[in-house]
Structure 1
Amino acid sequence: MARAAAAVAAFPAGAAPGAPVLAGLAARGCPPVREATPRGTLPAHLRA
C-alpha cells in the first residue's frame, strides 16, 4: 500500500514541473517528442 501511495504522489510531483516546460516548447513551435520521427516509419526491428 505504501508503494502505491508513493507512486500516486510522485506522478503529480513530476508532472507539475514538466507541464510548463512542454508548454514553453510548444509555444516556440517545437514538435512533441512522440512526433519527432516521421509518421509511417518503424524501427528496423519492427518492420515485417
Structure 2
Amino acid sequence: QLEAIERAAAALCRHHGWNERSVIGHLEWQPGKVDPRGFTMASMRERIRDRLK
C-alpha cells in the first residue's frame, strides 16, 4: 500500500508540475484526522522525491 501511495502521489505531482512538498497527510490538513500508521509523511515525501528524479 505504501508503494501505491508513493506512485499515485508522484503521478499527481508530475502531472501538475509539483514536487514532493505539495503532498500532505490527513493530519496536516485536518486536525483530529489520523494518518495511516507505520510511516511518517517526511519519509513518504522522501520516497516521492526519489521517484520524481
TM range (shorter): 0.3 to 0.5
Larger radius of gyration between Structure 1 and Structure 2: 1
